[in-house]
Every structure is written in C-alpha cells, then in structure tokens.
Chain A
Amino acid sequence: MTGQGMTGQGHAGQGVIGRAVHRVDGPLKVTGRATYAYEHGAEDRPLYGYIVGATIGRGRLTRIDTANAERAPGVRLVMTHHNAPEQGPRDTSVPIEYWRAQPMLTGPEIHHYGEPVALVVAAAFEQARAAAGLVEVAYEERPGRYDFAALRDDTYVPKVVNAGLPTDTAVGDFDAGFRSAAVTVDRLYTTPYEFSMPMEPHACTAVPQGADLTVHVSAQIVDAALASVAATLRLDPARIHVVAPYVGGGFGSKLGIHAETILAALAARMVRRPVKVALTRQQIFQLVGLRPTSSQRVRLGADRDGRLVALAHDVTMHTNPDMEYAEQTAATTRSLYAAPHRLTSHRLTPLDLPRGEDVRSPGDAPGLLAVESAMDELADALDMDPVELRIRNEPTVDPERGVPYSDRHLVECLREGARRFGWERRPTRPASVRDGQWLVGYGTAAAIRGHFQMPTTVRVRLAADGTATVQSDMTDIGTGTYTILTQVAADGLGLPTDRVRVELGRSEFPTSMGSGGSWGAANSSTAVHRACHALRKRLLAAVREDTRSALCGLPWEKAVFADGRVRIGEASEALSDLVARHFPDGVQTTGETLAMTDDPHYSAYSIHTYGAHFAEVGVDADTAEIRLRRMLGVFSVGRVLNAKTARSQLIGGMIWGVGAALQEEGVVDVRTGAFATRDLAHYLVPVHADIPAVDAVVLDGYDDKANALGAKGIGELGICGAGAAVANAVFNATGVRVRDFPLTLEKVLPGLPPPEE
C-alpha cells in the first residue's frame, strides 16, 4: 500500500476529492423519485403482510387460532409456527450475527415481548392489518427477567466484545495507582436502552420469479442480507437478488435484516406472489435490536497537576440470553488518555428482552458519556480547565497496545474548538451565569472512535464513450456514498463528475462490507481508487506502443489524467478516443480493500478519528427544562472525501449526542418485558426546535496509515462525546451533576434554587 496516488493524482492536489459537491442522488431524493424497499413491485400487484406479535415477554404459545383471520376479506395466507416452512438454524459458527440465518415462527416458545407469532398476508394493507387483529393467541406466561437495575449484579463474562475486541484489559497495578492518587473520582453512570429509529421503517418487498427471489430490502449490508435470507430459506445464494439502492437511514439497525424480510420472503414463496412487509413504528421497538442499557463505573486518579495515574472503566450491560451482544463500551477508553495504571472490563446481565444490536457508534457513544463526564468531574475536583486537563493527559503512544498512533490530533481539535467557540468566556464557577430565565453553562468533551477496515471489492468500467461506471453492492444510507464514489472515480480517471455513474446496492455487484462501523466510505473509496489506478495502467500500457496515439513512446509514468484527457507533457489525447480504439467494448477492472487483519498498518498503529465538542446550554431556572443554545465540534478524520456530506454527517452525529444526553430513553415495563415507550411520541428524538446553531469543523488531514486515500470514517464520530459535552454544560449551568442519562428535567429540578421575584 502506498500513501500516494500516482500520476499526479496525489492527495495534496486541487482535485475533485474533498470538494463540497452536491449529492448526486439529491434531485431524485428531493422529488420523491428515489424508491425505497416498500416502494417496489407495484406492477405485479403485491400482497401485503402484517406481523402479529406476542403479548408476553416469556413463555409459550398454548393455542393460536387463525380461522377467523383466514376467513377475513382479502386474506391469502396466515403463517404461524404450524405452517411456516422449515428454515435454516441460526448458526453461531458464522462469525458475524448479521450473516446468520434469522429463522422466524419456529415454534411456540416466546423469547421476548413482541416476537412474531403470525404473519397475515392479504390483498390490501387494510385487510391484512384488520385480519391480524383476528388471530387469537393464548399463552402460558413464565416469569421473565426484565429489570436491569435489580439484576445488574447477576452477570457473566463474555469471551469477547463487539468487533472482536478483548473483554477486559489491565495495564500496571490499578488498585495501587488509584490508592496513590492525590485526587480521585469514582462514579457510577447509567445509560438507557436506545433505538436507532431510522425514518424509513424496516421493510421488504419479496418478488418470486420461478426459482429466483428478488428481495427489495432496507439494508446497510447487501451481502449480509443475501447470506441471511439464503441461510434462512435454505436457498442457493445465486438465486437470490438483493436490491437496496436507497435506504432511509440505518444507524446500525439495518446491518442485519429482521422479521420483515424473512417473513416477506417466506410468504412470497408460499403464495408465489410479491409480498411486502414493513414493521410498524411500534413494532420496530420490539423487533429490531436496541442499544443495551448500561451501568458504568469510572474511576480516575490523578496527581495535583491533573496527570492521570490510574484509570478504570468497568461496564455492565444487558444482553439477550440466546443472542449475546456486548457493546465495546470501554474499548476506546483504552486509547483515549495516558495513565500508567489501567483497567477496563465488560460484563453482561442476561434479560428476556430483544437482543442488543449496533446502534450508531456502538460502545463509544454510551462509553464516552460516562468517561467524558468523569473527566469533567475530575477537572471540577482539581479546579482545572477541562480542556487543559485533557491536553495534559495526551499520550505519546497507545497506552494499552504500546503502538504509535497513526494520525492523532485530539489536542489540535481541543485547542481549535476552544478558540472558535470562545471557551475562554466559559463560566468558571458552576451556576454563576444567568440570562433572563436561563442558567447558562458551557461544556466540553473529547471524541474518539476506532477506524476499521473491511474487505471490499468494486468494479469500475470505462465505456468507449469515455464515461465510467462504478458498481458495488455497497449502500448509501444517507452517508453520501453515491457522491463520494463519483468524486473518487472522477479523480482517479480524470473525468468530470457528470461522466461518472455510480450504481450501488445490488447483490449482483462486487461485494462490499456495506455501510456500518463508519467503514463504508474508506473501504469503498479506497477500492475505487485502486480500480482506477489499475485502469490507468491498462490504458497506458495500451497506448505505449500505439502509433496512432499522440502519446506513443512518451514517458508514460508522467501521464496525467484530467478533464477527460490523458496528457504527457505537451501531448494529449481524449480518454474516450483512447478507450474506443483499444477497448471498443469498454474496459473494466476491480479494485479491492483488504481486511484490517490482513493490513499490517492496523496492527502496527493505533488508528482512530478524533474530535472535541463544545456546547452551551440554557437551563430554565424554574422548570429545569434544558435547551441547547449552540454547539461546535472540531474533528480530525484524515482526509475528507466531500466537505459537504462529511460535515452533514458529523453534525447529524452531534445532534444524536444531544438526544442521548437529554431525551432518548427506552423504558421497559419490568412487569411484562414490554417497552412502554414504543412510538415517536413517547420515545423522544430531537426535533427542529431542539437544535439551534450546530456547527462542525474538520481539520485538514491525511492518515497515510489508514489507506491510500488517507481517509477515515466519520459516520459515528460526531455522536462520540457529544452528549457528555451537553451534560457537562448542564453541570456548569446549574451545579447539578446527573449521572443517570438522559438528563430529563426531573433529575435537575431538585438541585435548583426556589423561584425568585
């Protein structure tokens, strides 16, 4: 791997990479012409499926009577465990959950509230929904484990945590170090169940065509959807065609497919008609995985100058007993600050609830809420500027792995953010600044997020007319993939962006690792970059001895591809002429990105992205309503591929952090295992009015250890630490420290002085 492009397309140039190009899929999206998973198959008059969910949290079905539902108008099929086809078992030897079979309606056992017990398929949506209410179910309920607070000490140790990271780590002698520290913080933080809640409900249109099955699905990883459908339905993957050109948000919840896809696919094959199934918004709360609730003990010990001597982050979270999921909540704590004595651990409490799944920035989002709140508590205990405290604990090498950082600019983020935000104006004493009804406070927090690289293949094809087509099963879930790959291919082939077409989201295209883990952009753009490199080599090899070309015999290593032409010195030729002459049917090649385990840089370096958040909040002096007043994030993410889409994603992540700090909370009724917050009126996410000026600034950068483009992931970094900055600002505004997220007003209210005149 080299850190440079070749033939003049190096990263430092004024190329199209990085430019704030408008989204190429924008005109389709803003006119409603981009079609999502449920919006296909109209020409074949699809049938409509509606899921019936269990109304107990644990136990078994004793009776399911479908007679009335089957007789209802328009009903074509009622599928239950009695008539559901045999399906492949969930195979835990498949390394990643999302590629495994997801069998549905397999038997009478109920594992969590809302688990599907039937699918009703009818000619119209209204008929299916009405008939679903006619399915009669009787249960034998068994006591379930639903109460995390009561059961959180009843834990076990997982073998590894998410992303294959170690469960526990220890460096030095934490206990001795902590005992010796002049100033200590030892606090317990709790974070709630959270849901991704993309705006597009999880949906599938399954279209059978003979032995083939086309699956229009809302999925982040096409290959995982394909593998999962094939394994569940026991079909040859070659007969399955997964289509996901537009995905209405995922945030982790569409890494894998769920009941909607499996049930639609099963039903479509049974009735030999297209079948559409979408989860209702209420069902999403029970049928799609959630971010585990957590309890996190953070211990920090420092000397009087604020240098950490001991740091421990011990996490307990819930898991489903059958489908283990352990967020890597303490993982980035291992790389964030220097301290000679360190501990991290993860423990799991099995509960009879839906399984945990990745929710935007798994681990880091809840973990940094705790750690970056604790750092603020330490700064307060030391009477030190929280920015300065963080700068003092900047490590020189990764403190647990002992390897150098590839490209770490946390201190620059903190300094630049403090400067731009006007951090020097912050109230140094909590609860000291008032603006009318508002108590005003500032808060800061650091952001860190691991960068991952996954195997990805793309195909780039140049047609004889000089246009390029990029194909990959990669997805664009709002991240900007269509646009950045257009830019990278335009750069790599020296073409205007309007001569590049990017086609995504079909299983017939080369396999990627999709969108997730913030790896999509770097994986796929690196692969496109490599494919373009290979294409350039083939073209130059062809032209070298082509006497019809003006470039014949010229030093090909000096060739520059730009503006649709190939130039060597003064001589040049149109790319289209060159392709048409040598490759009249076009020319294509593939480009690959390796798995990080096969890339020596990922073991030799600690590769992360970084940032610093600054938030100003107002807390109503009478009601404790908390409102964000402004927020800034400064980020270091290596090279930016599109300044516009990158900034949008980072701002979106920051706003997720605001929601996590102040609003988002899934509440389980511990008597039944049902979520009491199961719609968007009760599970609150930020609305326009909650979000004033929020800005993100990205430092110029290039991480030559990450990949040939120097680019790293940004989809999750924005949320990391953002909520802690808000919570720290609430402390600064009120003097009230809340350690139980989210910071709803009743947790702040008791700490406020009585109303004044």
Chain B
Amino acid sequence: MSDSVMRTAGRSPDERAGRLSEIELSVNGRVRRLAVDPRTTLLDALRERLGLTGTKKGCDHGQCGACTVLVDGRRINSCLTLAVMHEGDEVVTIEGLGAPDDLHPMQRAFVERDGFQCGYCTPGQICSAVGMLSEVAAGWPSHATAAADAVAQRIALTDEEIRERLSGNICRCAAYPHIVAAVRSVAEGDAG
C-alpha cells in the first residue's frame, strides 16, 4: 500500500496541489515539525522556515554545492531534494557542526588555513569536506583514485583525491589551495 499521509482523498489534483504537508525531521539533533508546501526544497525549508540560513543558495540547481548538508551522514545538495522526502531523516547543517566559540575541527582548520574569503560557499565546503572524509574512511573510490588502488580498502588521501572529491563545491573567490590544506590538516589530524 502506498503511504496516504500526504494525500487528500476526494479532491481534484488542482485542489490538492499546493496544500501543506506535515513533516517531521531531525535537524542538528532536534526534532522539528513543519507544515510545508510540497514544492519546498530541503534548502528552502532550512533557510526560510527553520531560520538555519547557514546553508546557502548559490545556484538552486546542483551546480555549485553551496547548499551541501549531511542527511543521515551523507552529503547531498539540499537544493535538489524536497523537504517532504526527508520525513524522519537526520539532517546536519553547518550550524550543527559547531558554533563560533565551539568550532568543529574542520571549521577551525578553515579559519586557520584561510580556506575562504567571502564565506558564502564555506558552509557547503565544510559540510562537503566532513561528508567526504567519511566516504574516504568507508573506502569509497573517486575519479582520482589510481586504478591500482581501485579495490584497495584504504584510500591514500592525496591532494589530488581531496580536489576531485570536493569538486562539487565551487568557490568563486578561488580559495581552493587553502581549502585543500585545511581538509588535509583535519584528515592528518584524524589519522594521528
């Protein structure tokens, strides 16, 4: 059977369309209940409904990565998914990683290595980097992974690997070399 929570029986599609849907999702460890227009992206739900404006809208089409958040531990573009599709999911945004007086190691590394300038792509870069390190820890390969290592369980996190794996996050200020340095410092810290 299909889940009928979102349906309103007996009405024409036009009447039903645009009605609000009740959803419940966990954001940064807090359960949030929301009535959303089904058209609302996870990004707009976070920014416009929950006041979590740290997640940025750069292109709204999955072409820049500024909206990257972690859902059930995986990094995704929050602009290309609907809030209603995340019923029950655990969402972590930049605000959930750390606060100005309690920085996440990745956030601290970005400050120390000057891994940003205007700061607009930065939350996405940081969420992406955190998600990416989990993927590396899980042994996921990338386009940059040498063929010989393709089935190795342990990925050597070279700068080339970091660059390839973060290529879904555009930084127009082009802080790229410093972002890579920041991510490398965190990865090495974790290894040690």
A residues lining the B interface (CB < 8 Å): 22-23, 25-36, 38-39, 42, 73, 124-127, 130, 196-201, 246-251, 278, 280-281, 477-480, 644-645, 647-649, 651-656, 679-681, 685-689, 691-695
Residue numbers in A under 8 Å from B72 (CB-CB) = none
Some 26 contacts from A to B, beta carbons below 8 A apart, are: A27-B103, A29-B122, A31-B97, A31-B100, A31-B103, A31-B123, A33-B99, A36-B56, A126-B39, A199-B64, A199-B120, A199-B170, A246-B118, A281-B61, A478-B116, A478-B119, A648-B173, A651-B175, A652-B117, A652-B173, A680-B170, A688-B167, A688-B169, A689-B160, A689-B167, A693-B177
Contact (A685, B172) CB under 8 Å given A125-B48, A246-B119, A248-B119: yes
Interface class of chain A by DSSP: loop
In the bound complex, do residue B126 and residue A30 qualify as a contact, i.e. CB atoms below 8 Å apart? yes
Contact (A651, B174) CB under 8 Å given A31-B54, A200-B58: yes
B residues lining the A interface (CB < 8 Å): 18, 37, 39-40, 44, 47-48, 51-61, 63-64, 66, 93-95, 97-101, 103, 107-108, 110-112, 114, 116-123, 126, 144, 159-160, 162-164, 166-180
Partner of B144, one of A251, A685, A689: A689
Partner of A689, one of B51, B100, B163: B163
Quick one: closest B residue to A645, CB to CB? B114
Partner of B111, one of A27, A125, A651, A687: A27
Contact (A649, B170) CB under 8 Å given A32-B94, A39-B53, A691-B163: no
Instruction: Report the Cα distance A685→B112, complex, angstroms.
Output: 26
Residue numbers in B under 8 Å from A645 (CB-CB) = 114, 117
Closest 8 CB pairs of A and B: A32-B54, A478-B118, A248-B120, A478-B117, A29-B119, A655-B174, A32-B94, A27-B100
Interface class of chain B by DSSP: loop
Instruction: Report the Cα distance A653→B98, complex, angstroms.
Output: 30
Quick one: closest A residue to B168, CB to CB? A687
Instruction: Report the Cα distance A250→B101, complex, angstroms.
Output: 29
In the bound complex, do residue B60 and residue A199 qualify as a contact, i.e. CB atoms below 8 Å apart? no
In the bound complex, do residue A691 and residue B53 qualify as a contact, i.e. CB atoms below 8 Å apart? no
Partner of B180, one of A25, A26, A477, A688: A688
Shortest B12–chain A CB gap in Å is: 15
Instruction: Report the Cα distance A691→B110, complex, angstroms.
Output: 18
Contact (A691, B119) CB under 8 Å given A22-B111, A281-B58: no
In the bound complex, do residue A686 and residue B66 qualify as a contact, i.e. CB atoms below 8 Å apart? no
In the bound complex, do residue A198 and residue B172 qualify as a contact, i.e. CB atoms below 8 Å apart? yes
Contact (A30, B107) CB under 8 Å given A200-B56, A681-B63, A689-B163: yes
Query: Which of B40, B172, B178 has the most C-beta atoms of chain A within 10 angstroms of its own C-beta?
Result: B172
In the bound complex, do residue B175 and residue A652 qualify as a contact, i.e. CB atoms below 8 Å apart? yes
Quick one: closest B residue to A644, CB to CB? B114
Shortest A558–chain B CB gap in Å is: 38
Shortest B75–chain A CB gap in Å is: 14
Query: Which of B53, B110, B166, B174 has the most C-beta atoms of chain A within 10 angstroms of its own C-beta?
Result: B174
Instruction: Report the Cα distance A689→B163, complex, angstroms.
Output: 5
In the bound complex, do residue B110 and residue A30 qualify as a contact, i.e. CB atoms below 8 Å apart? yes
Partner of A125, one of B44, B97, B99, B117: B44
In the bound complex, do residue A278 and residue B167 qualify as a contact, i.e. CB atoms below 8 Å apart? no
Residue numbers in A under 8 Å from B122 (CB-CB) = 29-30
Shortest A382–chain B CB gap in Å is: 34
In the bound complex, do residue A32 and residue B93 qualify as a contact, i.e. CB atoms below 8 Å apart? yes
Query: Which of A36, A644, A691, A694 has the most C-beta atoms of chain B within 10 angstroms of its own C-beta?
Result: A691
In the bound complex, do residue A32 and residue B95 qualify as a contact, i.e. CB atoms below 8 Å apart? yes
Quick one: closest A residue to B144, CB to CB? A689
Quick one: closest B residue to A653, CB to CB? B174
Instruction: Report the Cα distance A10→B116, complex, angstroms.
Output: 31
Quick one: closest B residue to A649, CB to CB? B117
18 other A-B residue contacts (CB within 8 Å) besides A31-B98, A32-B94, A33-B100: A30-B98, A30-B103, A30-B110, A30-B122, A126-B44, A200-B118, A248-B119, A249-B118, A249-B173, A281-B58, A479-B117, A644-B114, A679-B61, A679-B63, A688-B163, A688-B176, A688-B179, A691-B174
